[in-house]
Amino acid sequence: MIYLDNASTTYPKPGRVAAAMQAYLTQSGVSPGRGGYAAAVSAERMLADVRRRLTQLVRGDEPTRMIFAANGTDALNLAIHGVLRAGDHVVTTALEHNSVSRPLETLRRRGMITLTRVGFGADGVIDPGEIARAITPQTRLVALNHASNVTGAIQPAREVGAITARHDVLFLLDAAQTIGVIDIDISAWRVDLLAFPAHKELLGPPGVGALFVGPEVDIVPVRQGGTGGDSADPLQPPDWPSRLESGTPNTVGIAGLAAALHGLEPLKTLATVRACMAHFLDGVAEVPGIHRVGTAPVDRCVGTASVIIDGIGVEEAGAILDESFDIAVRAGLHCAPYAHRQYGTFPDGTIRVSPGPFTTPREIDAAVAAFRAIAEEVRN
């Protein structure tokens, strides 16, 4: 299989990830516990070490505020439901994934919040000025997708952070598509809440995500439960990370993430996926009937792009790529319906191509040839 769906999840994972998960399961495998027996203390240390490394990676300064979650969606829900109160106004964008749009729309329909969704420019990039103009005295939160999972276009997070800081509004950045390839600096960019999964360009396994909660954020726990300590307290303990973490964590997944972080090479990965993307887009640009959706230059995108082919539905083209060429791409709306509405590609969507750190130029050659063959077949 030629795997070009790395925007969904990176595959394959480095061998060290599976090895670390197997080792954790077979050689320690216990639940972390504060002040417990040695193996439990060692599991707790492993979690603390991963929190520290993730916090360093995004230039934060308080690792206990790096909260483990089940995936990117879970981390975003912890943030959105944790900070919003009745009467709040939220500014978001047409680029958001449903993991942001749906919780916000749910709260809006319950009558709890009001919502402004700003659009993007022809290049697929939002204008920070529009965000600033949408902020009202009731605005508590601005939620921004750091890079579109439809077009790959990277968004001006630093500029938006300067605006939210000036207006004393919380800034939630969804780094699902950027962490592990783009240098994120939550301190300089004034990000209050950073949510991301482990299973994309961090190269970790599925089942782990994280939410970093900045020091100024007033957040309530969406979940309450056992934290391994403070068991006499009838309520969730106020200390970090227990304040937002309950229940047995995915220690096996976090052990895999620890191994993934060990050899992470974001710059190398970014160079690889951009080279693949440029190669693919140059190749299909010459083919009549194939159109790219989104115009941001490759050097302002992560390794994701969307195309459509005249005369054939995206689902059908995706099925032909799979069945006749053994090429895995994602066809449809990519959980980002508002982006497709603005591009005019709703409700069918696009064919999304997303190389990963292990994609080779030969695989891209094969993908270009397959797209060309489909477009020619439709034409004739």
Ligand X SMILES: Cc1ncc(COP(=O)(O)O)c(C=O)c1O
**Which chain residues interact with ligand X by CB under 6 A?**
8, 71-73, 97, 99, 145, 149, 174, 176-177, 197, 209
Q: Provide the minimum distance between the beta carbon of 141 and ligand X in the complex, in angstroms, as a whole number.
A: 16
Q: Provide the minimum distance between the beta carbon of 200 and ligand X in the complex, in angstroms, as a whole number.
A: 7
Going by the DSSP 8-state scheme, the letter that residue 14 receives in this structure is: P
103 versus 228: smaller Cβ distance to ligand X = 103
Q: Provide the minimum distance between the beta carbon of 7 and ligand X in the complex, in angstroms, as a whole number.
A: 6
174 versus 245: smaller Cβ distance to ligand X = 174
Q: Provide the minimum distance between the beta carbon of 377 and ligand X in the complex, in angstroms, as a whole number.
A: 31
* Among candidate residues 134, 175, 169, 133, the one with its CA nearest the CA of residue 154: 175
197 versus 228: smaller Cβ distance to ligand X = 197
Is cis: bond before 12, omega within 30 of 0? yes
Q: Is 152 left (phi over 0), alpha (psi -120 to 50) or beta?
A: left
Query: Residue 164 and residue 141: Cα distance in Å, rounded?
Result: 8
Torsional sign, CA 194, 199, 203, 209: positive
Q: How far from 25 is each of 34, 38, 199, 248, CA to CA, in Å?
A: 20, 16, 19, 14
113 versus 195: smaller Cβ distance to ligand X = 195
Residue 228: count other Cβ atoms within 10 Å of its Cβ: 19
97 versus 190: smaller Cβ distance to ligand X = 97
Ranked by CB distance to ligand X, the top (closest) residue is 72
Q: Provide the minimum distance between the beta carbon of 73 and ligand X in the complex, in angstroms, as a whole number.
A: 3
Note whether 170 and 131 are within 8 A (CB): no
Strands (E), 231-347: 290-293, 305-309, 327-328, 330-332
The structure tokens listed for 141 are 């939160």
Number of helices and strands (H, E) in the chain? 11, 13
Q: Provide the minimum distance between the beta carbon of 33 and ligand X in the complex, in angstroms, as a whole number.
A: 27
Q: Provide the minimum distance between the beta carbon of 87 and ligand X in the complex, in angstroms, as a whole number.
A: 27
Note whether 47 and 68 are within 8 A (CB): yes
The structure tokens listed for 266 are 């974001």
Query: Residue 294 and residue 95: Cα distance in Å, rounded?
Result: 12
Q: Provide the minimum distance between the beta carbon of 78 and ligand X in the complex, in angstroms, as a whole number.
A: 12
The structure tokens listed for 29 are 């495998």
| CB neighbour class for 267 (10 Å; exposed up to 12, middle 13-18, buried from 19) | exposed
Query: Residue 149 and residue 99: Cα distance in Å, rounded?
Result: 12
Query: Residue 126 and residue 338: Cα distance in Å, rounded?
Result: 13
The structure tokens listed for 204 are 């970790």
Q: Provide the minimum distance between the beta carbon of 38 and ligand X in the complex, in angstroms, as a whole number.
A: 33
The structure tokens listed for 360 are 């080779």
Q: Provide the minimum distance between the beta carbon of 378 and ligand X in the complex, in angstroms, as a whole number.
A: 29
